A and B are shown apart, each in its own frame.
Chain A
C-alpha cells in the first residue's frame, strides 16, 4: 500500500478495509472502494487532470459530480475504452486504468498549449472570420482544426457489452435521493403508492452524503439509510441507484439510464449481467428533487488547477476523506463557503481565509468561522491567481465604494486550493425538459421552476429551497400530495427536528470587479470545458448576437459534455451586463436532453446484431438450407435466391432452374406472399374502392388480379384476390407489401369508411405456400390429390379449389407468375414442410427442380409481368404500364381515380413500360441503365427513360429487358440508345411480353 499523501486519517464514506489500485497516465496509484477516480487522484496529490478544449489550458478537478467540466478522462483501453468520462463520477474499482485526453505528448507538457499564446487571435467565432483564403484551402485548414478539436478517442473495436431495457409504470417517480427526494419517496411509499426513487449516485443521500448536521437524533446519513431501508421493505417501492433520469418527455415519460456493472472491475464483469439498463418509466406523478449546483465565480485565471467549487472541496473532505490541497482559500458571495471552510478546518487543513465580496458579514456561520480563527476578507475580491500548472496563491483587493471596481493595494494570500462559491443554481433541467417555464428569483439569484405543465412537483434545492429543514418539509408534502393525486390516501409524516443556522443574504456578483477591464489580463472563464471567457460573451454582445441562443451558438457557451451546468447562468449574467437587459428578459436557452450524456449502446439496447431486425423464415426454410440454397433478404424475409449445384454460378443455376420450369416442373416457396383475410358484408365494396378494376362479377372460387393505387394515382401494390364466399375473400399482396397494404386498408376502414363492415386479418404466416410450375405441374398435383378434379375444364386458370394435397387439407390456386401452367398450394404453416417433401419426392420422376427468387424474376420478366418496386417506383400509373385494361371505366370511383385524369397524368410523353431487345442478344443491360435521347462527348446528356428489369431469358434464348421510356407505348420498333455504366448500347423497343404472348401455356 503506497502512501496517499492527501488522504485524511479518519472519516469519509470510503471503505478503508478495501484498498485497491489503479493506473492513471501510466502510473500506479492506490485508493479505496467508495472513491471516485477524482477523489483518488486528489488523495494521491494528482491535481493536473486534463487540458481544455480550445486553449489546452492545464485543468484540475472542479466539482465532485455530474457538473464536472475539466476532469474528463479516457477510461480503459481496447474494447472497453470510453472517452470523455467524468472522473468525478467514475467509481474506483480495482485495476481501473485511465488517461488524460486532449493533450500530447502528456498532460503536463502539452504541445497543443501553443494555442494559448495566440489566444488573442482566437476570440469567440474567429473561425467564421478567417480560413477563407484561398478558396480551395478550407479543407486543409479544416484538417488541422479537426485534429485539434475533439476530446477523447473512440474505441476501435466493437463494444463487447450487452444492454437491456425495462418498461415500467409507477404512481410516483421521485428523481433525486437527497433529503427532499427521500422524504417525498417515504411519504408516497407509506401511502402505498408504487414509488420509484432514482439517484445517479451509488448511495442515497444526495447532499446528505457530505452533511454534518443531524436529522432528528441521527447523523444525516443514518437518517437517509433508515429511510432507504424502509422504502426497500415496502412491497411496491423500488430504489434505483447509479441511475440517471436524463430525459423528461411528454405524458410523464421519464427516461432513466442505470449503470449496472460500470463500477465493477473488468474481471468481475460478465455478459450475464447487462452493462447498463434503459428504464422507460411512465409515472402518474413525478417529484423532481434534483438539487442544485454551486456556481463558480468569474475572475482572472479562475481555471488554474486547484481552483474548485467550495461544495466540491467539502465533499472531498467529508465524503471521501481527501484533502483537496494543503491549505485552502475561499472566495464567495454567500454563506455556503463558510460551511466548507469549517469542515476543512475541522479536518485539520489550513484555511488561509475567506474572501467575501460582501461587507458587514454577520450571522452564525460567520461567527463560527471567526471563532475558528479563520480570517475573513470582507468586501474583497480575488484579482489574480498564481502558480503555473497548480495554484500557489491569489491576489486580493478591496472593492471600491460603489462595488464596481477595486481599490487600494493588492494583498497576497497563499494556498493551493481556492474554493469558490458564486451561489447556487437549481438543477431545473428535467423540469425545463418537461416544458415547464422557469422564473428568475431575484432574491435567490437563480432560476426556479415556474408552474409545472405535466403532473410534477418540484422540491428542495431544485426549487430554490436551500435549508435542510425546508427540503425535508417540502419533500414530505410533495410525496403526500403526489400519492393523493395518484389516488392514495396519504398523511404527511412528522418532520424530524433539524438544528441549522439561518443563511444570510447572498450578494449577486458574477464576474467579480477587477483592475483591468475584461478582455485584458488573465482569462476569466465562464465555460471551462469549451474555454468560453467573459471576453467572448462581450464580443458576442458587441457584434450583435443578441439572443441567448445566438450567444450560445456563437461562443459555444454551454455546449460541452457538461452541457453548461456550471456556465449557463454565469454566461447569462455577463451577457445581461453587456446587453443592458436584465436576466429574466434574456431568458434561458432550451435545456435539451439528456441531462448527462447517455451511452449509445443502452439506447440501442438489444436491437443490434442478429436482433437488429427480426428474421422471418418460411416453414420450409430448413429444407432450403440443407439443399444448399443461397438466400436473399426480401424485407425481413430470408428467401432462397437460387439453388446452385456442383459449383454452379448464379447464371448457370438460374438457367437450369428456368429451363426446368419451362420443360417439366419447378417448385418455389411462395409462403412470403402477403395474405389478407377479408370478411364481412362489405368486402366487395372495399375491393371496388381499393382496386382499379371491378369486383362485382367475380364468382366464388374465382381469382382476379388487381392493382392498388395511392391517392395520387400511382401504383403501390398488386396481387390476386380470391372470392371464398360472398362475405369472405383472400387478398394476396407482394411479399414486402403485406404490412403496408394492411395498414392502408385499416386506415380507410378506421378513419374514412366507418360504415363499411369489413374485418381484415393478416394471415400471411398462417399458411405455407408451395408453387409448382411447368408443363408437368398438373400431373404432379393429380398424383397427390384425390378430391380435386384437376382437369382444365374442372379447374381452369384463375380459380381456386379446396381439397387435400398429400393428405393435407389445402387451398389450391391456379394462378401463374411464371407464365407456365402453375398452382399455388396453400396449407397450414405447420404442414408446409410435409407438403414440400411430398411434392419433392413425388416430383422426382419429373425432375422437379426447386427455384429461387432470381428465377422467379426471370420467368415473370420473360412473361412481361411487372414487379411493384421494380417496374414501378411510386411515379407510375396503370396506363404507364400499358395496363389500361385493368382500370375500370364503368366504376364511379376508386382510390386514385381522380388523380388519373390530371393534365400531366394523361400526357402521351409520360414514361411508359416497354420491352427492350439489345442488338446483341447476349448483352444483358444493367438494371438502372439510362436511355438517352442524344449522345454527347461528356455529360450532360438528355435522358428519356431507364431500364427497370433486365435478364438473360433462358426460355426465349436471349437477353430481355423492361424499361420505362418516354412515350414508349407508341415507340414499338424504334431503336434507342442506352447508356449503361459508360457503355453505349443500342436496343429495339418491343412489347414487354417476350414469352407466350397469347398465354397458351399458362391457360393450358
Chain B
C-alpha cells in the first residue's frame, strides 16, 4: 500500500507545477476478498469512521466497508451539519462530548480538511417554560464539564443582530442557550476523509456493493450476501441509518425504531449574514450559513414512515414561515435546492450502539435526526465494540437491551427541532 500524499499547501504548490496530474486516488477500488475479519455494512460517516478507528486504534485492517451506493450518499451527505455536544443526560454527554473532542482535531488527524467551524450554536427560547428548560439543560451540561451559556435577549441580539427581537411578535424571543464550541462541518469531507484514512491503512472500501442477506451458522453470523457475491467475516457491524430495520429484518430480529423522511433546503449563496447556528423548537426551524454562502435550513421530520428519500412539501412551507418569523429580512431570498433523507428514530431519541441477539453481529443505529455530530465518537466506540466484542463504557448505556429494561435516555427535548 502506498502511503498517500500528505495534503498541505506545499503539496498543492508542488502539484500545481505538474498541472495537478499526479494526485493519487483518495481510495482504491478493490475487488472484494472472500473473507474479512470485520465487515462494516454502510459507507456513511459512521461506518467509515468505524473502519478508520478499527485500523488506527485497534490495528485491525482486514476490514471491508460495504456501501450499496456511493460513499456518504445516505444521511451523511444530506444533513445540515450541526455539531454540538450540549445534551441533557450524562450518558449522552459522554458520547457527544467524545465526538466533540475528536472533531476538534479531526482535520489534522485525517489530514483532510473537514472544515469544522466552531461558530457557536444557539438554541432559542420563546417563553418562560423554555427559559426554565434551558436553565435545567444549561446547568446539567455545565456540570458535565461541557461549555454552555445562558443568554438573555440582548445577548442573543448581540451575537445575531438580524434576528427579530421585537416583543410584539407571535412568539417573542425570551432568551437562548449557546454552545460556543458547537458549529458546522463539511459533511462530504467527513466521509471522504475517513474513507481515505481507512483505505490508506488497508481497509477495502467497496462501493456499489449492497448487502442483501446475512449468512449465519447456528447462532453466529459468518458473513454477508451481497450484490457482488458472498463475503465471509468473523464480525459484522450494521451502520445503515434509515435502513437499519431492513438489515435487522435480514438478520431476523426487530428494532424499536421507525424510519421517517427528514428534509432540508438551502438558499442561493449570499454574502455572510449569519455567523452562528440558530435553532428554535417553538418557532420550528433551524439554520446556519455555509462557507459557500447558502443558508442551510431544516426543521421537522415527516409524520409518516417511509424509505423514499423525500418528504411532504407542507413541512417546507411551515419551516420557511418559521424562518421568516425569526428573520423577516430573509423573505425575499430564495430556496435553491431541497431534499430529504431517511432517519431512523428510537422511542427515546437516542442511538443504539452495541450487540444484537446474533453472535458476532453488532449494530449502530437510531441516530435519527441528529447523528452527524456524533460521527467521530460513534465510529470510535463502535470500533471498540467490534474489536473487543464488548461495548466501551461510553456506549454501554446505549444497548438494545435498554428498551426491555426501561433504561431509556430520553433526549426528545434535545432533539426538539430535528438536527
Residue numbers in A under 8 Å from B119 (CB-CB): 139
Question: In the complex the two chains form, is A633's CB within 8 Å of B171's CB?
Answer: yes
Question: In the complex the two chains form, is A138's CB within 8 Å of B117's CB?
Answer: yes
Residue numbers in A under 8 Å from B321 (CB-CB): 603-605, 607-608, 612
Bound-complex Cα distance A981 to B139 (A): 7
Whether, in the assembled complex, B273 has its beta carbon less than 8 Å from a beta carbon of chain A, the answer is yes
Q: A-facing mask of B314-334, CB < 8 A → 1, else 0?
A: 001110111111001111111
Among A80-88, A350-358, A391-399, which stretch is in contact with chain B?
Answer: A80-88
Choose from A53, A156, A549 the contact partner of B77 (Cβ within 8 Å).
A549
Residue numbers in B under 8 Å from A155 (CB-CB): 329, 331-332
Residue numbers in B under 8 Å from A601 (CB-CB): 324, 331-332
Nearest-CB residue, chain A, relative to B409: A875
Interface residues of A, dominant DSSP: loop
Whether, in the assembled complex, B227 has its beta carbon less than 8 Å from a beta carbon of chain A, the answer is no
Bound-complex Cα distance A154 to B161 (A): 14
Whether, in the assembled complex, A216 has its beta carbon less than 8 Å from a beta carbon of chain B, the answer is no
Question: In the complex the two chains form, is A563's CB within 8 Å of B337's CB?
Answer: yes
Whether, in the assembled complex, A95 has its beta carbon less than 8 Å from a beta carbon of chain B, the answer is no
Question: In the complex the two chains form, is B325's CB within 8 Å of A928's CB?
Answer: no
What is the CB-to-nearest-CB distance from A100 to chain B, in angstroms, rounded to a whole number? 13
Bound-complex Cα distance A981 to B132 (A): 12
Chain A interface size, as a band, is 35 or more
Residue numbers in A under 8 Å from B115 (CB-CB): 127, 138, 142
Bound-complex Cα distance A320 to B1 (A): 62
Whether, in the assembled complex, B210 has its beta carbon less than 8 Å from a beta carbon of chain A, the answer is no
Tell me the A187-221 residues at the B interface (CB within 8 Å): none
Whether, in the assembled complex, B410 has its beta carbon less than 8 Å from a beta carbon of chain A, the answer is yes
Residue numbers in A under 8 Å from B322 (CB-CB): 612
Nearest-CB residue, chain B, relative to A927: B132
Choose from A120, A131, A253, A947 the contact partner of B16 (Cβ within 8 Å).
A120
Residue numbers in A under 8 Å from B207 (CB-CB): 546-547
Chain B interface size, as a band, is 35 or more
Whether, in the assembled complex, A123 has its beta carbon less than 8 Å from a beta carbon of chain B, the answer is yes
Question: In the complex the two chains form, is B29's CB within 8 Å of A247's CB?
Answer: no
Question: In the complex the two chains form, is A128's CB within 8 Å of B7's CB?
Answer: yes
Among A420-428, A675-683, A782-790, A896-904, which stretch is in contact with chain B?
Answer: A896-904
Among A569-577, A590-598, A769-777, which stretch is in contact with chain B?
Answer: A590-598
Q: B-facing mask of A895-936, CB < 8 A → 1, else 0?
A: 000010011110000000000000000000011111010000
Nearest-CB residue, chain A, relative to B135: A928
What is the CB-to-nearest-CB distance from A869 to chain B, in angstroms, rounded to a whole number? 7
Whether, in the assembled complex, A874 has its beta carbon less than 8 Å from a beta carbon of chain B, the answer is yes
Among A157-165, A455-463, A690-698, which stretch is in contact with chain B?
Answer: A157-165
Nearest-CB residue, chain A, relative to B25: A544
Whether, in the assembled complex, B62 has its beta carbon less than 8 Å from a beta carbon of chain A, the answer is no
Nearest-CB residue, chain A, relative to B256: A712
Choose from A138, A158, A545, A600 the contact partner of B107 (Cβ within 8 Å).
A138
Query: Knowing A563-B337, A904-B407 touch, does A161 contact B331 (C-beta < 8 A)?
Result: yes
Query: Knowing A247-B313, A928-B136 touch, does A546 contact B292 (C-beta < 8 A)?
Result: no
Question: In the complex the two chains form, is B13's CB within 8 Å of A121's CB?
Answer: yes
Question: In the complex the two chains form, is A946's CB within 8 Å of B8's CB?
Answer: no
Tell me the A126-144 residues at the B interface (CB within 8 Å): 126-133, 135, 138-139, 142
Whether, in the assembled complex, B91 has its beta carbon less than 8 Å from a beta carbon of chain A, the answer is no
Nearest-CB residue, chain A, relative to B71: A550
Q: Which of A145, A544, A546, A929 has the most CB of B within 10 A?
A: A544
Question: In the complex the two chains form, is A132's CB within 8 Å of B329's CB?
Answer: no
Among A24-32, A37-45, A470-478, A535-543, which stretch is in contact with chain B?
Answer: A535-543
Q: A-facing mask of B84-117, CB < 8 A → 1, else 0?
A: 0000001000000000000001011001110111
Known contacts A131-B113, A593-B338; can you find 20 more A-B pairs with CB under 8 A?
A: A80-B332, A132-B113, A133-B8, A149-B292, A155-B331, A156-B162, A249-B310, A554-B188, A590-B339, A598-B334, A607-B318, A608-B324, A612-B169, A615-B170, A870-B129, A928-B132, A928-B137, A939-B142, A943-B143, A981-B135
Using a CB–CB cutoff of 8 Å, the interface residues on chain A facing chain B are: 53, 80-84, 120-121, 123, 126-133, 135, 138-139, 142, 145-147, 149-159, 161, 247, 249-250, 253, 255, 278, 280, 517, 519-520, 535, 539, 542-547, 549-550, 553-554, 556, 559-561, 563, 590, 592-594, 597-601, 603-605, 607-610, 612-613, 615, 632-633, 712-714, 869-870, 873-875, 899, 902-905, 926-930, 932, 939-941, 943, 946-947, 979-981
7 closest residue pairs by CB, A with B: A159-B331, A150-B293, A928-B136, A928-B135, A902-B406, A158-B328, A597-B334
Q: List 6 A-B contacts (CB under 8 A).
A: A132-B7, A151-B271, A249-B312, A874-B410, A943-B140, A980-B139
